[in-house]
Amino acid sequence: MTALLDQLRAAPRTVLSRIPLAGSGSDDDEARRPLPVSGMLAAACTLGVGLAVLTTLTLIGWIAAPRGAFGQGLPGVFRAACQVWLAAHHAGFAIPGGRVGLLPLGLMVLPAALLYRAAIWMARDADLRLRLPARLPKGSTKDLANARRRAQLVLIAQAGISLAAPYALLAGVIALVAQNNVTQPFVGEALLSHLVLAFVAGSLATARTIGPWRSMLRLLPERARSVVVGTAVALSTMLAAGLVLVLVAVVMNFGQIQRLSELLAPGFIGGLLLLLVEALYLINFVIWGVAYISGPGFALGTGTLVAPTGVQLGTVPSLPILGGLPDSGVTSPWIMGVLAIPFLAGAVAGVVVARIAPTPHFESAPLWGFVCGLATGLSAGMLAALAGGPLGGARLSAVGPSAWEVALSVALEVGVAAGISAGLANWWLVFHGAHVPAPAPVRKAGDAIVKVASKVKLSTPPATGRLPGHWMDATEADTQPIPVIRADWADEHASAAAETFEPVPGKTPAGKGPATGKGPAKKGPAGTRPAAAKGRADGKREEPRPPRRDIVDESDDRGGHIIYVDPYAWDRDP
C-alpha cells in the first residue's frame, strides 16, 4: 500500500510527453485526420455497433414474447432497441400516468465500453498536437510545468468534445425515432446523458492513449490530487461494503428469491432475460446498500423505508431479487454496526490525503480531510440520484434512496472521520516521518528556542550550523534538482590520512629492535605503530572511523529509491 501511495505521489513529471507540439513536423501528417472528423466517425461507429447488439437481443425477446409486445413487427423491435439504448444512457421515458426513471446502471457498461474503445481509436487516428501559449511564463520551472499542464487539459477536453458533440446529436435523432404511443423518451435527458458519458469516456481514453494511468493525476495540482485519491478510496470502500451487504442478503434469503422466481414462471428464455435484468440492476442495489449503511436507507414506494433503524414495506415490484429485503419491523441491534463503515472509510481516506499531500501543514490537514468528506458525499449523492427514480405514477413515484439525504449523511460521517485521521496522520508525519521536512515556521521556532536555551546554559548551539542532508519535498524536487551530502555514513575503508600513530612503550625506534610478524612491516614514524594495530593486539574494539562526507546521495525527484554514489569505489581493495 505504501509503494502504491508513493507512486501516486511521485507520478512522472512528463505527463503525455508523446504529444507533439503544434507546428512540429511529423512523417505521418498526411495520414492523420482532423480531430472533429475522427470524433464523428468514432461516434457513428459506436452507435451502429451498440444498436446492432441491442437489436439482436430485442429480437430474441420478441421471438420468445407474445405477439404484439414490441409493436408492429420488426419496426417495433427496432424502436424497442432504440429505447433500450436510450435507457442505457439513463435517459428517462414518459408513460401514461407518470414517468420511468429507475433504469439499470449495469446497462451503461455497454455504451461506456464502446465509447472508450472508439475514443482510443480516435486518439490514435486524429492529429493530436499540444498547443502551448504564445508567451510562456518566464518564472521558475514550476510555472512552465503549470502552463504545459493547462495545455494538456485543453487538448484532452477538445478530444472529449470532439466525440461527445456528434454523439449527442445522433442520440437526439434516436430519441425521435424511438417514440411511440406508449413511451416517449425525454429528448433533453437523452442529449445531456449522451453528451456527459461520451465526454468522460473520450477524455479518459485520450489521456490513457498518450500516457499511463498514474500520469493522469499529474494533470491536477498536488493538493487536489490528494483529495481526489482520498475521495476515490472512501467511495470505493463504501461501495465494496454495499456489495457485501447485497450478497449477504441474497444468500440469507435465497429460498424466498427462488420461490418468487417460480411464481413468475418465465420459461427458459424468459428466465434468462429475467436473470439478465437482475444482473443489470445489481449496481443500483449496491448503491442502495451504500445508502443503507450511511443511515438514510432507501424507499420502495411512497410511505416505505428500508434503513438500519427500521423497515416499513408494502407491496414491492415483482422482481425476485427483491425477496432479499428484510421483513417489516424493528431491526436487530447488531445491524446498527453497519453505521460505522462510513467512519472507517473516512479514517482511511484521511490517512491517504495526508500521505499523498505534498507537504504537511498543522492547521490545514484536518480541513483537507473534511474537504475529502464533502467530495465523497457529493459523489455518493450523485450515485444515489442515478440509482433511483420513479417507476410510473402514484405509489411507485419514489423508488430508491434520497440523493440529498445520502449526500449530507456521507459528507458529515466521512468528513469528520477523515478530518480527524488526516490531522493525526499529519502530526505523525511531521514529528516521526523520516522523509518529511518540517514546515518553515516550525524550523524557525526550533532555531529560536535553541538560541534562547543556549544563553541560559540549557543547550549548546551546533558549531557548524545545520547538518548537511535534506529531504526534498514534492515542490522542491521540481525546481531544485540538487545533490545532497549525507554526513551520517561511516566507511570501513578509511583513507591513510585518517590513521594516527602512537608511540610503542618499551620499543626502540624502527631499525634498532627485532621485527615481529611476517612480511614487510608498515612504515611509520620511528617508535610508533598504527592505532588500529594496537586495538587488534590488545583485543579491544577498534575506535569507529570518522564519517565520510564525500558520498553524494542522488535521490530521485520525489523521494523514492536512493542511489548512493561513492567517488572512491574504484580505489577499493579487491
Per-residue model confidence as pLDDT tens digits over 35-89: 888 899 999 999 999 999 888 888 877 776 655 555 567 778 888 889 999 999 9
Q: What is the pLDDT of residue 232?
A: 93
Task: Dump the DSSP string for 58-83.
Answer: HHHHHHHSPTTTTSSHHHHHHHHHHH
Q: What is the pLDDT of residue 152?
A: 81
pLDDT of residue 249 exceeding 70: yes
CB 201 within 8 A of CB 161: no
Distance CA 322, CA 256 (A): 9
CB 229 within 8 A of CB 357: no
pLDDT of residue 182 exceeding 60: yes
Q: What is the pLDDT of residue 292?
A: 93
User: How confident is the model over 341-369, as a mean pLDDT?
Assistant: 84
Distance CA 426, CA 432 (A): 10
CB 400 within 8 A of CB 290: no
pLDDT tens string 109-135: 999 999 999 999 988 887 776 665 556
Residues for the chain: how many in total?
Answer: 574
Which backbone phi and psi does 336 adopt, to 5 degrees?
-65, -15
Distance CA 220, CA 392 (A): 43
Q: What is the pLDDT of residue 126?
A: 77
The mean pLDDT value of the chain amounts to 74
Distances (CA, A) of 100 to 185, 304, 355, 378: 10, 19, 44, 24
Distance CA 171, CA 326 (A): 40
CB 155 within 8 A of CB 202: no
Task: Give the range among 78-92, 165-179, 522-536 with minimum mean pLDDT.
Answer: 522-536
Sign of CA dihedral 322, 327, 329, 335: negative
Distance CA 16, CA 214 (A): 11
pLDDT of residue 511 exceeding 60: no
165 pLDDT band (50/70/90 cuts)? very high
pLDDT of residue 364 exceeding 70: yes
Q: What is the pLDDT of residue 549?
A: 53
Show the cell assigned to 258.
Answer: 427462488
Higher-confidence position of 522 and 147: 147
CB 418 within 8 A of CB 412: no
DSSP H or E stretch at residue 453: helix 440-455
Q: Cα–Cα–Cα angle for 153, 158, 159, nearest 5°?
A: 100
Distance CA 172, CA 77 (A): 19
**Residue with the three cell numbers 548551539:** 461
Higher-confidence position of 161 and 362: 161
pLDDT of residue 93 exceeding 80: yes
CB neighbour class for 502 (10 Å; exposed up to 12, middle 13-18, buried from 19)? middle
CB 305 within 8 A of CB 378: no
pLDDT of residue 183 exceeding 60: yes
DSSP H or E stretch at residue 305: strand 305-307
Q: What is the pLDDT of residue 269?
A: 74
pLDDT of residue 461 exceeding 60: no
Mean pLDDT highest for which of 33-37, 179-183, 367-371? 367-371
Higher-confidence position of 214 and 510: 214
pLDDT of residue 482 exceeding 60: no
Taking the C-alpha atoms of 46, 50, 55 and 57 in order, what is their torsion angle to the nearest 10 degrees? 160
User: How confident is the model over 292-308, as a mean pLDDT?
Assistant: 88
User: How confident is the model over 24-38, as a mean pLDDT?
Assistant: 65
pLDDT tens string 303-333: 888 888 888 887 777 788 888 888 888 888 8
Distance CA 558, CA 478 (A): 8
Higher-confidence position of 560 and 428: 428
Distances (CA, A) of 497 to 96, 407, 533, 546, 547: 98, 71, 16, 11, 14
Q: What is the pLDDT of residue 210?
A: 73
Report the half-sphere exposure of 243 (CA within 13 A, side-chain side). 9
531 pLDDT band (50/70/90 cuts)? very low
Q: Which residues are paired to 547 by β-bridges? A: 490
pLDDT of residue 445 exceeding 70: no
Instruction: Give domain limits for the chain.
Output: 12-219, 221-436, 483-503+524-574
pLDDT of residue 516 exceeding 60: no
pLDDT of residue 455 exceeding 80: no
User: How confident is the model over 458-477, as a mean pLDDT?
Assistant: 43
Of all residues in the chain, what percent carry a pLDDT higher than 70?
A: 64
Distance CA 324, CA 255 (A): 9
